Amino acid sequence: MNILFLSQIVPYPPHGGVLQRGYNIIREISKSNNVYLLAFVHPDTLASDELVEESKQQLEKFCKSVDYFTLWPKKSTVHKLLAFSAGFFYPYPFSTLAHRSSSYAKRMQEIIKDNKIDVVHFDTIGLAPYLSFNANLPTIMTHHNIESTLMHRRSKVEVNWFAQYYVGLQSKRLRTYEISKSPAFDMNIMVSKNDEDELKSMSPTVITDVVPNGVDTEYFSVRDDQQEISIVYTGGMNMFANKDAVMHLIEDTWPRIKQKIPDAIFNIIGQDPADDLIAISKRDNSIKVLGFVDDIRPYVAKSAVYVVPLRVGGGTRLKVLDALSQGKAIVSTSVGCEGIEVTDGLNIHIEDKADDFADRVIDLLNDKQARLQLGKQARKLAEDHYAWTSIAQVLNNAYVEVKQKSVDKGH
């Protein structure tokens, strides 16, 4: 089949989150389909012309064509301020405003006209306005999470009253938009059963299928590196949820861990760490802010425990799948491992209270055999349920289904 894949971001490099899912999905579906990719360039991910060109060369290995577009709010500080100001008065979600592009719409129409496109894949609800340029082709919408729920959770933990109000406002607009737009797509792809149930409760007429997030089990394999008495967190610090998780652990959990295990180290990996986080690490040499690293695997391997103290989020966290695949002992909040078929006490430990979270980490740091047993079951779960090859096949089946329904309708 010919798949037109509309993305809100260039899915490269495949370092976490939507980038990792997008890259692996495109790589796998291209084995049996022709993929035409349209994507917006995020300068915080691709910060130079050389990186942009490298990403294009990599994605062209899988795609028939690759076209990039400018995300207008990220052109400059002035554009960013203008965009957020307009977001107050724009009646629809900010994401739909941010992704407006006449050149994107024009190129979409050209590809549809010049190629026999079978299915148009919309990879986020923020791209739903492009449905009007779809030429009545079969459509699929991916919900990486229930965006309105993610924004609502974020509004509850924002400290600044203005941020609370703005994020809360966007949450309400997103909820209305998700309810109204999701039924317009022939299939809504959810990354977890939890998200599927929530979307159906919001909009009962939607047609859904679950295509979970996955992991490259060969790349993220178990390593025999000598472990240090440390914990590790991975995730871009330019994302609110990741920064909030790290600060929450440092303020509410880390003192209890240090009291019991004075030599413990907290390794924090992720691009663009904030100045306040760097300042904390300078005052406390047990907190290591490593920033962006080319390969997280050695750092994760040498750390005894992988922590996921997330309080904000939705969908499923690919970082957790990566850690499972590496056979790590993991301690997570319920939000952190939401949507993943983990079992508390078997292949992960789940704790939501700061003191309980700390005690579980302390127990694992003190018990190598417990870490090994938890990690062994974690790896088994990753191998049995979350390999990308089988996950992409589920998505491919969804493409076939929506195409066949369109044929049956005579489109």
The full set of domain ranges for the chain reads 2-214+388-409, 228-385
Q: Which CATH class name applies to 228-385? A: alpha beta
> pLDDT by residue (tens digit) across 72-114?
888 888 888 888 888 888 889 989 999 999 999 999 999 999 9
Q: Tell me what percent of the chain is helix, strand and coil, each rounded to the nearest 5.
A: 50, 15, 35
d(CA 387, CA 325): 9
Q: Average pLDDT per run of 10 along the chain, which is 411 residues long?
A: 97 84 94 97 89 96 97 86 84 91 97 96 96 94 91 84 86 94 96 92 95 89 87 89 93 96 96 92 94 92 96 71 95 91 96 97 96 96 89 92 82 59
Q: Which CATH class name applies to 2-214+388-409? A: alpha beta
pLDDT confidence of residue 254: 97
Whether omega for the bond prior to residue 13 falls within 30 degrees of 0, making it cis, is yes
Q: Side chain identity at 86, as an amino acid letter?
A: A
Q: Say if CB 172 and CB 334 are below 8 A apart.
A: no
Query: Which position has the token pair 């949820």?
Result: 241
pLDDT confidence of residue 315: 43
pLDDT confidence of residue 313: 66
Q: Which residues contact 63 (CB under 8 A, 6 or more apart)?
A: 5, 26, 30, 35, 36, 37
d(CA 21, CA 12): 10
Same fold: 2-214+388-409 with 228-385:
yes
> pLDDT by residue (tens digit) across 19-67?
889 999 999 999 999 999 999 999 888 889 999 999 999 999 999 999 9
